[in-house]
Amino acid sequence: MLSTICFLSGYFIICQTQWSNENGAVPGEPVKKDENSRRGNWGNQIEFVLTSVGYAVGLGNVWRFPYLCYRNGGGAFMLPYFIMLVFCGIPLFFLELSFGQFASLGCLGVWKISPMFKGVGYGMMVVSTYIGIYYNVVICIAFYYFFMSMTNLLPWTYCNNPWNTPDCSGVVSTSNQLNASLANATTTLVAGVSELVNRTKRTSPSEEYWKHYVLNISDDIGNFGEVRLPILGCLAVSWVVVFLCLIRGVKSSGKVVYFTATFPYVVLTILFIRGITLDGAINGIKYYLTPQWQKVLDAKVWGDAASQIFYSLGCAWGGLITMASYNKFHNNCFRDSIIISITNCATSVYAGFVIFSILGFMAHHLNVPVSEVADHGPGLAFVAYPEALTLLPISPLWSLLFFFMLILLGLGTQFCLLETLVTAIVDEIGTDWIIRNKTVVTLSIAVVGFLLGVPLTTQAGIYWLLLMDNYAASFSLVIISCIMCICIMYIYGHRNYFKDVEMMLGFPPPLFFKVCWRFISPVIISFILIFTVIQYKPITYNDYVYPGWSLAIGFAMALSSVVCIPIYALYKISRSPGATFRERLKNACRPHPKWGPALQEHRTGRYAAMASEDTVEARPLKEKEELREELKEEEKEKERKDEISLTIQGSNGSTNTHNNPNPSA
């Protein structure tokens, strides 16, 4: 809507014309300033959606989902996957977005809803810390491969390098290497694979490059060896990039995501078009999607589907609450939750076509089943897929694109992990100094994150990275999410929360979401927890079995986030007023007086009484008098401006006056 405002300045009348945007406001509500000047807001809603998509769509969409899909019945896996999306993924996503947006606070501040459960917020911070440390190490390895791809010949193409062993056998023939220049050596495909297939033990050049050159991996998790300086340098680059993108909080990261959240889809599309044109690609895609309907009756398939949905969307990390807290109060987060959740799952399916078309091409040239070249996790990203890329003409180009895509996917998640920690600290301290110097907090966390990531760049780093990946953010996330649902729906009360959502959105949550929040989603979360415990197997890395002491450290990391919940609950109960334990418990669970919308203009209904009490009556006498004087001065100033403001008839026939100083809000 185009609006014009005029005001008197000296002897001149100055007019300003600008576009106004209600940003998802409740229909019929007058346009008003909705900017939280103290914390800041997203520049527009597209920035929030793109940031959330970048947060949810991460490395797991590329290196975990396609593998799970073909291992659990191909196309048949899609059925339980989408059922879990509808009944668990989208409802939990909407719950966390609405939770953070309503209070405009991070993962610690939102627990004013029931202060006894603030330990859940601390648990989220611990989980985000663990993930942020090792996730950036994965990104730095992608940076390293990206830099190493800037060459005419990929270094993992042949077996004639100093780090190769006698067991190495490549998929690209070396017979033509002497007769071809480096520029066209990458176009030489396998001439004869019979000798390769008949080998009883084969290690690929990409696997040996990964193990013996990039990692120079040690023989035990306790044998750290030396720091791999190239990886350490790339880790520094990764943290510098993350810090620079978050230097102004959501104001800067919101602009970066226009590229980091969208360009991976461009790369995926380029790789997909190239992949489906290769020989054998159809076989790989068939292997990926061919339904095995008998597996639908297998409980493990449903468990994998529920787990993948839960972990892929980033529930219980604290990131969703944090990102939503920078929304304007009346933003339609219900719409956003559906868009982002479906985009995340569609990306996973799309990535499967990209991965298996290339792997099908590789299996065709090796004359082996697709299952022998399929892999997941770091094995797919840094061994199987890079090896397949060596078969393509102009292989360095495709390698550059692939690893650049991995970098962007990782950075999108890493931005939110770091912002979660920064926002939680700034909201908790809450002083003017800490808010003005938020950049210092961001820099401090980035430096600490870099230092804590240094051990992961040693020769034993990959062991510790996988240990953190398997334990730091596994069943603890499930427990945190389950307790969050119970607290909001049963301690705070589902009726109260439904009214809060209605006040914020202008309509109550649909009946389906009410039922899911109260019953279905907690049951599914409990099922995921039970499934995780039943399916537990001690972690291994290829043939290496982790020693007992390292597994104990893994469980300690997992419990360190969960144990925050009972410890803080006991602390809060002990500090709450009351003559008996029951009274203390009741007071500890009661919402804090400041719980509710952050801005006074939104504190309506049952929050209106709290707002007026907080602004005047709940203050000391001197502060009351000062506040009343300030209010009187504001009223006088407003009357003075009204006298000199001019009313201009807008192009749409509506009247705009100076009473609405910010039509763009």
- Give the chain's radius of gyration (CA, Å): 28
Phi then psi for 5, rounded to 5 degrees? -125, 135
| Residue 318 among known ligand-binding residues | no
Measuring CA to CA, which residue among 432, 566, 649 is closest to residue 123? Answer: 566
| Residue 344 among known ligand-binding residues | yes
DSSP letter string, 299-350 = HHHHHHHHHHHHHHTTTTSSHHHHHHTTS-TT--HHHHHHHHHHHHHHHHHH
- Single-letter residue type at 587: N
Phi then psi for 540, rounded to 5 degrees? -135, 160
Taking the C-alpha atoms of residue 491 and residue 586, their distance in angstroms, rounded to an integer, is: 10
Q: Name the token pair of 324.
A: 């939503």
| Residue 61 among known ligand-binding residues | yes
| Residue 301 among known ligand-binding residues | no
| Residue 563 among known ligand-binding residues | no
Q: Is the CB of residue 588 less than 8 Å from the CB of residue 599? A: no
| Residue found under tokens 């929360």 | 497
Angle at 369 between CA 367 and CA 371, to 5 degrees: 145
Q: Which residues contact 357 (CB under 8 A, 6 or more apart)?
A: 272, 275, 276, 278, 281, 284, 285
Taking the C-alpha atoms of residue 148 and residue 162, their distance in angstroms, rounded to an integer, is: 16
Q: Which residues contact 488 (CB under 8 A, 6 or more apart)?
A: 95, 99, 113, 494, 497, 517
Distance of CA 237 to the CA centre of its chain: 20
Q: Is the CB of residue 478 less than 8 Å from the CB of residue 535? A: no
Q: Is the CB of residue 93 less than 8 Å from the CB of residue 320? A: yes
Taking the C-alpha atoms of residue 350 and residue 69, their distance in angstroms, rounded to an integer, is: 12
| Residue 312 among known ligand-binding residues | yes
DSSP letter string, 385-405 = HHHHHTTSTTHHHHHHHHHHH
3-class DSSP state of 38:
coil
β-partners of residue 15 are 6
Q: Name the token pair of 394.
A: 């102009």
| Residue 56 among known ligand-binding residues | yes
Q: Which residues contact 82 (CB under 8 A, 6 or more apart)?
A: 345
Binding residues for Na(+): 54, 56-57, 61, 312, 344, 409
Q: Extract the annotated binding site.
A: 54, 56-57, 61, 312, 344, 409
